[in-house]
Structure 1
Amino acid sequence: MTTIENKYLKVSIRPQGAELTSVYNKTDNTEHLWQADEAIWPWHAPNLFPLVGGTMNNELHVDGVAYPATRHGFTRTSTFQLVEASDKHAKFSLPYSEKTLAIYPYKFELQIIYTLIDNALRVCYKVVNQDEHTIYFSVGGHPAFNVPFYAGEKYEDYYLEFEQEEELLTHTISPDGNLSGDTEAVNLDGKKLRLTKELFANDALVFKNIKSREIAIRSDKHDKFLTVQYPHFKHMGIWAKYGADFLCIEPWLGYSDTEGIITDIKQKEAIQHVDHGHVFEAEFFIITSY
């Protein structure tokens, strides 16, 4: 386990998936990150690569070849190496291997870099192309935050506040975990979306294009907040396990296949790419009150 810390935050990251396991707010002694209850949802904040979401028939198609694929890719179960560390900074690396080439036929290095900047945690993804050709991928975050923040509060005391007023359409999810091809309106009260357990009765809210570049978790009962700021991410998933006391705010570049449509990775909606000899970079921030 690697820990970075400043006067505001203490953050822990494990080698598996280079996954955050704790975002502890030292100013009011609050653990903001879901603590991975095995009986409910066994993750904290998985990193998603080279897929976001699911694929048809659990297969990734590349140049006419079908490779076995798991939901959200293989990164969250892979062991990263810690390659740099200081009090406020940690850099993890996952290079390609014979194991990854068997399921994702590109030569890459995925770097995940965590940096504390006052009351904010910067999460940076770098995809280094080590192949002779352009490589294609999706990438995203899946952090789960404790809601409510404090004992004695209710989930329904909380709401999401979007940066901008939005006309939101969620792309509904099929029983197999792909996009169904249908949409439903999600109504905001100004910039606010009230949190209820029923909000996620039919799985995640998936927004393919969203104007806001930050979303805050706020309460009617106090002025404490947690904000996810995602300047480089165009797509968003918002999810909680039905009935659980957490909320995921998931900045994405990519999303699931649409049910019944098999597409080569190069033609997938929202797919990202990085050319030979180049590096792709995207970042988001977890910002806490203090």
Structure 2
Amino acid sequence: MNTRIGNEQLSVEVSPLGAEMQAITTADGAQWLWHGDGTYWGGRSPILFPMVGKAPNDTISLDGKSYPMSQHGFARRSDFELVAASATSCRFELMATEASREVYPFDFLLAVTHAVEGTAVTVTAEVTNRDQKVMPFGIGFHPAFVWPLSGATTDIHEVRLDNGAEPALIRLEQGLVVPRELASPFRAGKLVLEHDLFEADAMLFPQGAGAGLTYGCPGGPSIKLDWENLPNLALWSKPGAPFICIEPWHGTAAEVGGSDDLAQRPYAEVLGPGATARFVVRAAVRG
């Protein structure tokens, strides 16, 4: 059963499957999160762990041993346990199991907390290494927002980076990173969204995108996104699909021709025994 949290201004629904948000709804009934129509893409806001993106031949290696691992890891398809809930927040946890150790041989705890304040929802993921050895992983947030936004008076939607930068673009080839920088599609931090931008799959900005942006319709509804400890940004949709995924990551897919070692992937996190790492995304909606 899904958990619903909120206040008079905003309500959020979270599923125990993947600790994934299912809806963001404002008091006027407007829906801000993609509803997961499988005609285009059945996801809504998955948590990516213990890796982001694809691995060569869907196989990773750890300490020289190979393990099967499908795209974006297994957390999004795992049942989390609801361990705490209040009117405005809920915390789900995923612990290592015998089944998870078959593909990821570590004793880990992944805790995901959703909290509503005003017209914003904050999602915090905490990864704890409960093992006696170092633990490499990648983690990412994959929220899909409706495009166009409810109440928009024009088809024009754009992404504006807080830092006004023009980060270099990296593309994917069969889901793997092509390690070649391309010209940035941003101009003074602004990108006008067009569906043909995604004909070659996701747009990845491994560095330079900063820690915040605004997605929305000029002079109309918008979503302000901020994040912590997530150096990579991806934008993805399917051409013609009515959603846009805005994805802060810590870690990317493996590189074309690169290693399948999880610890060697670009921007991989390596956590020491007993340590905890924290990753945060906050989305504030503005009608």
Bin for the TM-score computed over the shorter chain: over 0.9
Contact 2:152 2:217 in 1 (8 A): no
Query: Separation in 1 of the partners of 2:230 and 2:152?
Result: 35
Q: Paired residue for 1:289?
A: 286
Query: Separation in 1 of the partners of 2:135 and 2:181?
Result: 31
Query: Separation in 2 of the partners of 1:66 and 1:164?
Result: 40
Letter matched to residue 13 of structure 2: S
Residue identity over aligned pairs, in percent, reads: 28
Deviation string 1:205-236 (CA, Å, 9 cap, x unpaired) is 1011124211111213x332101111321101
Contact 1:48 1:73 in 2 (8 A): yes
Q: Paired residue for 2:137?
A: 137
Deviation string 1:86-116 (CA, Å, 9 cap, x unpaired) is 0001000100001000000111010001111
Q: TM-score, normalised by structure 2?
A: 0.96
5 Å-filtered alignment, 1:163-202, equals: 163-174=162-173, 176-202=174-200
Q: Paired residue for 1:249?
A: 246
Measured after TM superposition, the shift of residue 164 of structure 1 is 1.5
Deviation string 1:1-44 (CA, Å, 9 cap, x unpaired) is 10001122100011110100001122x32100000001110010
Q: How many residues align?
A: 286
Deviation string 1:98-145 (CA, Å, 9 cap, x unpaired) is 100000011101000111122211100111111111211110100000
Return 5+ residue gaps in structure 2 as ranges: none
Letter matched to residue 200 of structure 1: F
Q: 1:208 aligns with which of 199, 206, 209?
A: 206
5 Å-filtered alignment, 1:58-137, equals: 58-137=58-137
1:171 aligned counterpart, secondary structure: coil
Query: Separation in 2 of the partners of 1:252 and 1:132?
Result: 26
Return 5+ residue gaps in structure 1 as ranges: none
Letter matched to residue 184 of structure 2: V
Measured after TM superposition, the shift of residue 73 of structure 1 is 0.3
Contact 1:228 1:287 in 2 (8 A): yes
5 Å-filtered alignment, 1:250-269, equals: 250-269=247-266
Measured after TM superposition, the shift of residue 268 of structure 1 is 2.2
Determine whether 1:54 maps to 2:54: yes
1:238 aligned counterpart, secondary structure: strand
Query: Separation in 1 of the partners of 2:47 and 2:54?
Result: 14
Query: Separation in 1 of the partners of 2:152 and 2:107?
Result: 50
Measured after TM superposition, the shift of residue 189 of structure 1 is 3.2
Letter matched to residue 20 of structure 2: E
Q: Paired residue for 1:13?
A: 14
Query: Separation in 2 of the partners of 1:212 and 1:223?
Result: 24
Q: Paired residue for 1:273?
A: 270
Measured after TM superposition, the shift of residue 168 of structure 1 is 2.0
1:61 aligned counterpart, secondary structure: strand
Q: TM-score, normalised by structure 1?
A: 0.95
Letter matched to residue 141 of structure 1: F
Contact 2:253 2:265 in 1 (8 A): no
Q: Paired residue for 1:33?
A: 33
Query: Separation in 2 of the partners of 1:268 and 1:219?
Result: 36
Query: Separation in 1 of the partners of 2:72 and 2:259?
Result: 17
